Structure 1
């Protein structure tokens, strides 16, 4: 059966389910949100079925303090700072006229370079062994595991890591624990589950009695997951369903998980505009701390007003938490567009605002 035919089959099954009250389903992956939006899947679902983008964008929640430290390191000179491309355009709260992004630091003469993979950072460090290279790492488990592998394999002495990595599930657990939580089901992230395993999401069903299904990124996998959680909801059941079995195993990727445990430890961590979420971040462990950029460099980021917050008027934190749709942000499509982003959700390819704009959704 072709992918299109299989997708039609799942859509028919969804439409054949008995009617019921409205259902709010959160997806927790920027890749899922891109597929849902670009394929127009929301418009095909029955009335009353809402798919809400959730905390699926690591760039969007990267602490402003860490980004400010990265900018300060780059502007101090004598250091090459590398980061995944999305991070370069994310703005911080800075007075007018001051450097407010890594892209602006680069324009001002700092040696800031976008990279696509950890191996690029290693290659840049090896090409200039006498120059310090700092790898600014923002990402979820899918990005963090390759960084752990990079360190475990051995890196040049001149390479250090400024770590701003986060775990996905603690943010979802925080949302589900809120008294005013209005979510009815969850589509769990395929990329993260590939690394960490489907079983990591069982708590959604067991602790919160909500249907949960792991999905891939094709229309057929996403629709299968949506069908699963809708059927569970209609039948009054809640369990974990893996609708991405071709890549996701219950235990995940044992090698990736071992490397994460070996190189990093889990810590409490700040999420931009949200605050500290317990045990939601990574820090280097043991001997690996020798590669911590904060241990190697004096970072003199200037004090800033509104430190840790989103820019004035920006509702990115509410969008990340599923409390507001992207086009409900006060700045969406007005002051904030992909060409001139104000908030991080409009910068990243995984940000819901950027995805919705690319899919043709304009401001109300």
Structure 2
């Protein structure tokens, strides 16, 4: 199949890996930003093809993983209320809050009406079909899902659907990368940027980061050849002393991004500080509803802004998400923390690094 099979071609994959072996002269630490890339790396054993000088660490690009405990608690609080239909993508149902999960609300004796949907427009349709009930959509994601969620909110206003609202947990990638680079314990020397995020937003926002922190940033896809090509270009820049944004994923990504999608995001949302699970608050790293759309803010509608919660002291997901630790370096990994009984979201999400290591049986003690 064109544009898929050739990017999983074993001969091409091995050839690119050999080029990296010939190129590298010094040790380098690279971070793949997206959880989808992490799963591909572990699934296909891409890191095992690399020379010992090149280490891959895993970044914060899993939206489920970085949704803070207190926001999960707010979702649980809203979903538990009488007359509410709470809609969410499936991953979020098993993410632990401080006391329970959305799945526990759904399965509990009170029988909260929690529904899995595949699009925010599904939730809007449910609201139209149930005018006597409040319908809330859990709007979680990076820039990739923001246009669809913005469309649902704009459509709700246009159609006059007043019983629809969104609990927003949108986060932005560039401020998170800056937080990683500016941290005193940072060891990341180059990034593989998430191709799908750049397909929406372009990559102009990464150019000041590359220049300011002298780090190469390579826009990278999700297939083995894509990822190895991204690693090759990143290592090549480092060996040559360059720090630029490169885009070998040009079959999908253009520098300016998707202008209609960007315009829609900027109409419906505004940039705000956002707390990241295991990381803390990062300035200008999130989206909240803009003026004119605040009536659809579930946090205000249900008065849950004051809900707070603490992270699990045992879970090291914050260190994993910042590239400081690998999943197997956590004492709970595969023992007290597993997909059936997760301590943190990185073991729940289909894009979580801990889930990837567990699924593909990596580095079990």
**Tell me, what secondary structure is at the counterpart of 1:36?**
helix
Deviation at residue 6 of structure 1 after TM alignment: 3.2
Q: TM-score, normalised by structure 1?
A: 0.93
Q: CA deviation at 1:294?
A: 2.5
Residue 40 of structure 2 is aligned to residue 35 of structure 1:
yes
Q: Does 1:343 align with 2:305?
A: no
**Aligned counterpart, 1:170:** 175
The residue aligned with 1:97 is none
Equivalent position of 1:8 in the other structure: 14
Q: Distance in 2 between matches of 1:80 and 1:260?
A: 25
What are the within-5 Å matches in structure 2 for residues 39-188 of structure 1?
39-94=44-99, 100-108=100-108, 109-154=111-156, 156-188=161-193
Matched, 1:313 2:314: yes
Distance 1:74 1:180 in 2: 39
Alpha-carbon contact 1:337-1:346 (below 8 Å) kept: yes
CA change 1:235–1:299 in 2 (3 A) is closer
- Structure 1 residue 123 displacement after superposition: 2.0
Deviations for 1:55-100, whole angstroms, at most 9, x for unmatched residues? 1111111122211111111112210001111111111223xxxxx1
Aligned residue pair count: 354
CA shift, 1:160, in A, is: 0.5
CA distance in 2, matches of 1:227, 1:33: 17
Q: Give the conservation status (yes or no) of the 8 Å contact 2:86–2:114.
A: yes
**2: CA distance between counterparts of 1:243 and 1:282?**
29
CA 1:298/1:237 → structure 2, altered by over 3 Å: closer, same or farther? closer
Distance (Å, rounded) in 2 between the aligned partners of 1:48 and 1:298: 52
CA distance in structure 1 between the aligned counterparts of 2:75 and 2:112, rounded to whole angstroms: 11
Give the equivalent residue in structure 1 for 2:333: 332
Paired with 2:305 and 2:199, the residues of 1 have a C-alpha distance of: 38
Whether the 8 Å CA contact 1:193–1:200 is kept in 2: the answer is no
> Which of the numbers 265, 268, 271 marks the counterpart of 2:273?
268
Q: Distance in 1 between matches of 2:6 and 2:234?
A: 23
Kindly report the root-mean-square deviation, in angstroms, between the aligned alpha carbons of the 2 structures: 1.7
Cα deviation digits, residues 294-329 of structure 1 (max 9, x gap): 33224498x77xx242x2311111111111101111
The superposition leaves residues 321-349 of structure 1 with CA deviations (integer Å, 9 ceiling, x where unpaired) of 11110111121000011122111110001
Structure 1: tracts of 5 or more residues without a match: 95-99
Give the conservation status (yes or no) of the 8 Å contact 1:188–1:213.
yes
Q: Do the aligned partners of residues 152 and 330 (structure 1) sit closer, same or farther apart at CA in structure 2, a change above 3 Å counting?
A: same
SS in 2 for 1:146: helix
